[in-house]
Amino acid sequence: MDAIGHIQLGKKGLTENFVLTLENHFKKFRNIKISVLKSACRDKKELKEISDKILEKLGKNFSARIIGYTIAVKKLRRAVQ
């Protein structure tokens, strides 16, 4: 596995295609940084909602951290029960 993958979330927002792309990136990377463009969200509250939706769609084996307008998503080594 390589170090860190990068992907951008644009003005169309969180779509099914974006989630599929994200899942495909996790086949190669353990950590992915999602750069959220200003056209995708207006404030930090909306960014938190996007982060929660991403984690909901990916499942329990992932954690996220918000740094500025970047969401760092990490795949956990073990399954969370």
Distances (CA, A) of 22 to 28, 65, 74: 10, 16, 11
**Among 55, 69, 65, residue whose Cα is nearest residue 22:** 55
Count, residues in the chain: 81
CATH class, domain 2-75, is: alpha beta
**Distance between CA atoms of 53 and 1, rounded to whole angstroms?**
25
Q: Which two tokens stand for residue 44?
A: 């930090």
Confirm whether pTM is higher than 0.95.
no
Per-residue confidence in pLDDT tens, the chain, 81 aa: 568 999 999 999 899 999 999 999 999 999 999 999 988 888 899 999 999 999 999 988 999 999 999 999 999 876 666
Annotated domain spans of the chain: 2-75
Q: Please, what is the Cα angle at 47 between 43 and 48, to 5 degrees?
A: 120
